Copies of this chain bind each other. A is one copy, B any other.
Amino acid sequence: MVTLAEVAQHAGVSASTVSYVLSGKRSISMNTRQRVEESIRELGYHPNAGARALASSRSNIIALMIPLRTDMYVPVMMEIAIAVATTARAHGYDVLLLTGEEGPDAVRRVAGSGLADGMILMDVELEDERLPLLRGGAAPDGARPGVPADQPAVLIGLPADTSGLTCVDLDFRATGALCVEHLAKLGHRDVAVIGEAPAVYERHTGFAERTLDGLRSGARESGVRLLHRPCEGGYDAMALTLARILDERPDTTGFVVQNESAVEPLLALLRQQGRAVPEDVSVVAVCPEQVAVQASVRLTSVAIPAQEMGRYAVEHLVAKLDGRDGDEVVLLAPELTVRASSGPAPSRA
């Protein structure tokens, strides 16, 4: 393994000079810089990460905590993870992958050991156990063992109390409103919402509830009757849910779906029942773009901007690490793309 000292010797300068060439923290003459860079290349030198972390107390690593359970939105998680990794690299950071498994202990461990300089948490729950460990200035002065003050972090998702936290998320409230308004404008009066699996609501992952909130207030404003039903996803569960909905509200002509794995089954079922999309019923989905485009009917949808969220999260975190940025909640504005699954409501019988 090549060391700084060897590079220095090879280039005929001191170790500190090589270090300064690498970090750019002091000015170096053109001549020396080139000699050093040449030696680095020639010897194939890579700075030792451990030594660097020890000396500078910066690991240049960002920890990403992903949820262990994958009952929803796997492609979204993946897309976020990839965006995080890519963006992080662009800023000189690597990404450490943590699963939710360890819970708050993971936060303590990573923060305490200086393994990562900061962390990004996905799938935050409304009252997440990990939040007290992350909250900034608001902490009481008493030193709590194992809890380093103020571990820089960014959340993807929105907890109940965002004070002292930095968060990035899609504005799901606005998303809900947008969906129902779109249907209302098209003349739909009875709209059914096919939601996430009941477990998702029970877990109090805020986004599902916030969407519902938006849907409800949008419905109220535009005089639409709304029926919300959670759904496990999959064909059988969807069949059951759809039957219940149509039984309860036979005049339903609009659907809002927020559950990837219910989308295709719903379309199949509607087709089977002779309800044409979009002539008889309209469907609006909240899902990644790819799902909307690849579905058997190209879906009018609000996209979940996974990449953007990942990118934002990293950029805010890096800014925080550089002391350039405070706590802040960024809600991305939803965009509804009209495709082939929504149209004017059929005139009433």
Chain B residue contacts of A112, Cβ below 8 A: 1-2, 44-46
Residues of A57-82 contacting chain B, CB below 8 A: 57, 59, 61, 64, 66, 68, 70, 74-75, 77-79, 81-82
Say which residue of B43, B114, B235 sits within 8 Å of A145 (CB atoms).
B43
- Given the contacts A50-B53, A114-B1, A85 and B102 also touching, CB distance less than 8 Å: no
B-facing mask of A78-95, CB < 8 A → 1, else 0?
110110011001000011
Binds B, one of A204-212, A293-301, A312-320: A293-301
- Report if A220 contacts B (CB, 8 A): no
Binds B, one of A21-29, A260-268, A279-287, A322-330: A260-268
What is the oligomeric copy number? Answer: 2
**How close is A102's CB to chain B, nearest CB, in angstroms?**
7
Chain B residue contacts of A81, Cβ below 8 A: 81, 97
- Report if A163 contacts B (CB, 8 A): no
- Given the contacts A46-B146, A268-B268, A296-B268, A97 and B99 also touching, CB distance less than 8 Å: no
**How close is A45's CB to chain B, nearest CB, in angstroms?**
8
Interface size on A, residues (CB 8 A): 67
Chain B residue contacts of A267, Cβ below 8 A: 268
Residue of B nearest to A46 (CB): B112
Q: Which of A49, A53, A66, A108 has the most CB of B within 10 A?
A: A49
B-facing mask of A216-259, CB < 8 A → 1, else 0?
00000000000000000111000000000000000000000000
- Report if A275 contacts B (CB, 8 A): no
- Report if A104 contacts B (CB, 8 A): no
> Is the Cβ of A70 less than 8 Å from the Cβ of B82?
yes
B-facing mask of A38-49, CB < 8 A → 1, else 0?
000111111111
> Is the Cβ of A68 less than 8 Å from the Cβ of B53?
no
Which 3 A-B pairs rank lowest in CB-CB distance, beginning with the nearest?
A50-B53, A44-B146, A46-B112
* 25 A–B contacts, CB within 8 A, in A order: A44-B108, A46-B108, A49-B59, A49-B114, A50-B53, A50-B59, A54-B54, A70-B79, A77-B78, A81-B81, A82-B99, A85-B97, A85-B98, A89-B99, A89-B102, A94-B97, A97-B97, A234-B293, A234-B294, A235-B297, A261-B294, A264-B264, A268-B268, A268-B271, A268-B296
Given contacts A94-B98, A234-B295, 20 further A-B contacts (CB under 8 A): A1-B112, A41-B145, A44-B108, A44-B145, A45-B112, A46-B113, A46-B146, A47-B113, A48-B113, A49-B59, A49-B114, A50-B50, A53-B54, A64-B97, A70-B82, A77-B78, A81-B97, A95-B98, A261-B294, A267-B268
